[in-house]
Amino acid sequence: MGNKEISRTSSDRLEQALSVFLGPSKSTGTLSQLLAYAAQKSTVSYQEIKEIIKDDPEDVLLLADEWRLLLTVRTAKSSSWEDRLLLLEDGEIYEIPNIVRFLVQSGLSTGIWDPEKAICELFKELGDPCWKTIPELVRSVAEEAVDHRITGNQIRMICLQFGLSNRVDALIAELKAAGIISPRLSSVPEVNREGSPIYEINPSVTIVVSS
């Protein structure tokens, strides 16, 4: 399915969902079109982005990067988010994290940015035996995080609270693969102080849906 096949109504619904935390703006509207396209393909090139956005895509890509909605594939060293090199030029490729893909698909149909629903659906698709529990676990991780950072020890304690102490390493691996957390490898002093790895949590999954 190409970008032209995404209905205006669906794009409007996604824009409504994004506006909850990005606010209504031209960038939000343009970003909704870009994410709708990227969610179908998993990756999108800079050339394709220019065709979708028409104008200079810099502001939209910076916004997408800030909220970890799109991540450049090019890296400085590792695949962690902090090592991604955001270059705005032809030839660059950007990927949509798995969890954001589910968030976008849900937003296109409902007009709601619903992390808990997206997390539940993603982990069910992954075949995780505790998929019904993962959304609440991620919510606890988000609540415990400071400036979207949390230690591996804190995640371990949260897993213990959910009766999943025997699956800590597997769950952390799944959360990374889902695009929900990413290791902060540059925080060596902080890691030494905490005696534990430091992770960044994707800010786009910390949005609380109003009841």
pLDDT of 6 reads 62
Q: Is residue 210 in some structural domain?
A: no
Answer with the one of 53, 79, 104 that is the final residue of a domain: 104
- How confident is the model over 93-101, as a mean pLDDT? 98
Which residue has 């890691």 as its token pair? 191
Query: pLDDT (tens digit, 9 = 90+) per residue, 3-20?
Result: 445 666 888 999 999 999
pLDDT reading at 189 higher than 80: no
pLDDT reading at 150 higher than 50: yes
Answer with the one of 76, 104, 132 that is the final residue of a domain: 104
Taking the alpha carbons of 39, 46, 30, 2 in that order, is the dihedral positive or negative? negative
Query: pLDDT (tens digit, 9 = 90+) per residue, 55-90?
Result: 889 999 999 999 999 999 999 888 899 999 999 999
Query: pLDDT (tens digit, 9 = 90+) per residue, 111-128?
Result: 999 999 999 999 999 999
pLDDT of 55 reads 83
Per the CB < 8 A criterion, the answer to whether 115 and 205 are in contact is yes
Q: Is residue 14 in some structural domain?
A: yes
In the chain, the percentage of residues whose pLDDT exceeds 90 is 82
Query: pLDDT (tens digit, 9 = 90+) per residue, 31-56?
Result: 999 999 999 999 999 999 999 998 88
Q: Is residue 164 in some structural domain?
A: yes
Q: Is residue 201 in some structural domain?
A: yes
pLDDT of 4 reads 45
Same domain flag for 143 and 71 = no
Same domain flag for 39 and 81 = yes
Domain that holds residue 165: 114-205
